[in-house]
Amino acid sequence: GKDLSKIKTKGNWKIQEDGSLYLEPRPGERGWSRYGSYLWLKDDYEDFTIDFEYKHPKGGNSGLYFRIYDESDATAHGFEVQILDCFGKEKLGPH
């Protein structure tokens, strides 16, 4: 991406030179508190195809939420494509 004009967020998201996004914590934002800063598209979409790339650290846990009908609690009111580094784990947890 080149800008965040079609996005709304409370997070301190930055666009890197390669076009990828990075969430830079503000002073005092630690742990999970900074991850409540989702990226929301300003427009609504019905049928869509999505193509994205992701990168996270070893053991990382992330996801892509869609069809959310209550922005106050995205994890409970939508669908998630789970992105979890679980390669080689014999037993997965509840995530």
Structure tokens belonging to residue 10: 């409370």
51 & 34 share domain: no
25 & 71 share domain: no
Domain membership of residue 30 as a residue range: 1-41
24 & 65 share domain: no
pLDDT for the residue 94: 66
CA distance 22 to 55: 10
pLDDT for the residue 1: 59
Handedness of CA 19, 38, 5, 67 (dihedral sign): positive
Q: Could you report the per-residue pLDDT of 31-81, keeping only the tens digit for each?
A: 666 666 788 888 988 899 988 888 877 877 788 889 988 888 888 888 988
Domain count, the chain: 2
CA distance 24 to 21: 9
pLDDT for the residue 49: 93
36 & 49 share domain: no
37 & 48 share domain: no
71 & 49 share domain: yes
